[in-house]
């Protein structure tokens, strides 16, 4: 552990620290952010009403629309001249959402990421290849500063440029790779194509996140690269990568509770749910100066677990993100989460973890087509075998989702690979 005195803190001590920091944050928001002051007034709430950690649930929620309404700097709680950096989320529609950091914020973030890299077994002797995109996206620079903070050697290669990634990985003897899991898988396939043996290379661990992935994908990446692959979670609004990170036990991501207070709520009612329940993740930042957020609704669906972890860390763990409250597709009136289809595809074993869902509407009827790659070997097999796999998948998807889908098995490497987050759904109905 990089920060054993904190990561291994008793729950009681931690709650005390969290409460102290929460009060400071609440006051900061109230005094410096007109949006929050107005919300408090509207709710008849004063900072003094927050008398214990349990009063967290009295605080107002913040949602992504609040960020848009206050574009670009309206929610900042520090004067602009104290803000040393901004990031912005990709935002597929309209204006991006903008977040800001003071020098202290950047320092805490770097400490956090250093802690995450240490969780993957990293220290100053490591060579960390940062394959997350650099720029407004928080991935690249976020991980970069943390790796430097740890004292590791950083290769700031950013995303893309696959052959070059592989060349430098060998020449510079990279030990830890950081990128999206879909890109890691792609890199491992390209390596095989180019005859590069990553299993016997210096590479020992991967810190993968920024998009959902599965246990099967983890196994595939670990086998292809001969590494331990760990999940990292975060979102720009709350900080960026490093809000939570897996330890060597690979059984959920420890939420960095000295910086963020997590909650699970019922997305319909907003009611706080106990540990162990599935619901929407909500975070309150408790150290941030430039962009503090009270009870930010992530729309990510997960579960928080308080059972003690074998690694000795006392921070609660969150399960892999199981979907979002808003990526839900409604196909012929049925709620469909792409992750449900993903698990069917990954569990069946005959196909590769590369797929694309195409939703369309003709004559007022919705259709769902699932394109999925089969392995090289499989594709050269007889047609009958392929037909069997198609039939099996169609059947399984129908039984899980309750609607029929057209399955299209495609040749290996025909579904476009992404260098950042993978595109899994094309919904033509919106066009």
Token pair of 281, please? 């993740």
Element (H, E) at 343: helix 338-348
Q: Which range touches ligand ADP (CB under 6 A), out of 208-216, 270-278, 356-364, 402-410?
A: 208-216
* Segment 279 to 308, residues that bind ligand ADP, using CB under 6 A: 298, 300
* Segment 291 to 310, residues that bind Zn ion, using CB under 5 A: 309
Q: Which range touches Zn ion (CB under 5 A), out of 124-132, 244-252, 300-308, 335-343?
A: 244-252
Distance CA 393, CA 370 (A): 10
The smaller minimum CB distance to ligand ADP, of residues 300 and 419, is found at 300
What track of x and - describes contact with ligand ADP for positions 138 through 157 (by CB under 6 A)?
--------------------
DSSP 101-157: EEHHHHHHHHHHHHHHHHHTT--TT-EEEE-SPPSSSHHHHHHHHHHHHHTPEEE--
DSSP state of 253: E
Q: How many CB atoms lie within 10 A of CB 80?
A: 10
Based on the shown chain and the rule CB under 6 A, indicate whether residue 211 belongs to the binding site for ligand ADP. Answer: yes
Distance CA 315, CA 144 (A): 24
Token pair of 295, please? 């009870």
Query: Is there a contact between 338 and 329 (Cβ–Cβ < 8 Å)?
Result: yes
Based on the shown chain and the rule CB under 5 A, indicate whether residue 313 belongs to the binding site for Zn ion. Answer: yes
Query: Is there a contact between 398 and 405 (Cβ–Cβ < 8 Å)?
Result: yes
Based on the shown chain and the rule CB under 5 A, indicate whether residue 203 belongs to the binding site for Zn ion. Answer: no
Among positions 235, 346, 405, 409, the unique one binding ligand ADP when judged by CB under 6 A: 235
Taking the complex as a whole, the smallest distance from the CB of residue 251 to Zn ion amounts, in Å, to 7
98 binds, among Zn ion, ligand ADP, none (CB under 5 to 8 A by kind): none
Altogether, the residues listed in the chain come to a count of: 431
The smaller minimum CB distance to ligand ADP, of residues 40 and 101, is found at 101
Based on the shown chain and the rule CB under 6 A, indicate whether residue 180 belongs to the binding site for ligand ADP. Answer: no
Based on the shown chain and the rule CB under 5 A, indicate whether residue 245 belongs to the binding site for Zn ion. Answer: no
Half-sphere exposure of 181 (CA within 13 A, CB side): 23
Based on the shown chain and the rule CB under 6 A, indicate whether residue 185 belongs to the binding site for ligand ADP. Answer: no
The smaller minimum CB distance to Zn ion, of residues 24 and 305, is found at 305
What residue ranges bind ligand ADP (CB under 6 A)? 89-90, 209-212, 231-236, 298, 300, 321, 324
Question: Which residues of the chain form contacts with Zn ion (CB under 5 A)?
Answer: 247, 249, 309, 311, 313
């Amino acid at each position: 552990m990089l920060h054993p005195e904190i990561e291994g803190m008793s729950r009681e001590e931690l709650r005390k620290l969290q409460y102290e920091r929460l009060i400071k944050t609440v006051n900061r928001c109230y005094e410096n952010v007109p949006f929050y002051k107005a919300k408090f007034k509207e709710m008849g709430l004063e900072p003094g009403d927050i008398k214990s950690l349990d009063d967290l649930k009295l605080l107002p929620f913040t949602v992504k629309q609040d960020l848009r309404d206050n574009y670009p700097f309206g929610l900042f709680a520090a004067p602009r001249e104290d803000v040393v950096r901004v990031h912005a989320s990709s935002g597929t529609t309209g204006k991006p959402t903008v977040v800001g950091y003071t020098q202290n914020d950047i320092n805490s973030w770097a400490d956090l990421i250093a802690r995450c890299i240490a969780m993957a077994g990293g220290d100053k002797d490591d060579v960390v290849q940062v394959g997350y995109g650099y720029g407004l996206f928080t991935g690249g620079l976020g991980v970069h500063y943390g790796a430097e903070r740890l004292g590791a050697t950083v290769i700031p290669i950013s995303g893309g440029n696959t052959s070059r990634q592989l060349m430098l990985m060998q020449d510079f003897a990279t030990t830890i790779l950081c990128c999206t899991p879909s890109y890691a898988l792609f890199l491992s396939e390209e390596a095989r194509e180019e005859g590069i043996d990553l299993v016997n290379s210096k590479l020992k661990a991967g810190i993968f996140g920024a998009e959902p992935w599965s246990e099967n994908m983890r196994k595939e990446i670990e086998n292809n690269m001969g590494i331990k692959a760990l999940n990292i979670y975060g979102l720009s609004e709350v900080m960026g990568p490093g809000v939570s990170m897996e330890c060597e036990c690979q059984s959920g991501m420890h939420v960095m509770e000295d910086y963020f207070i997590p909650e699970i709520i019922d997305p319909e009612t907003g009611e706080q749910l106990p540990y162990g329940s599935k619901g929407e993740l909500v975070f309150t930042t408790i150290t941030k100066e430039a962009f503090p957020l009270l009870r930010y609704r992530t729309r990510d669906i997960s579960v928080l677990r308080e059972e003690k972890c074998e690694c000795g860390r006392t921070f609660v763990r969150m399960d892999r993100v199981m979907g979002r409250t808003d990526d839900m597709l409604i196909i012929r009136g049925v709620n469909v989460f792409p992750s449900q289809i993903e698990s069917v595809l990954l569990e069946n074993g005959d196909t590769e973890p590369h797929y694309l869902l195409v939703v369309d509407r003709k004559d007022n009827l919705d259709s769902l087509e699932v394109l999925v790659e089969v392995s090289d070997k499989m594709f050269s097999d007889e047609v009958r075998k392929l037909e069997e796999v198609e039939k099996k998948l169609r059947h399984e998807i129908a039984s899980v989702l309750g609607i029929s889908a057209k399955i299209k098995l495609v040749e290996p490497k025909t579904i476009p690979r992404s260098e950042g987050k993978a595109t899994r759904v094309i919904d033509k109905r919106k066009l």
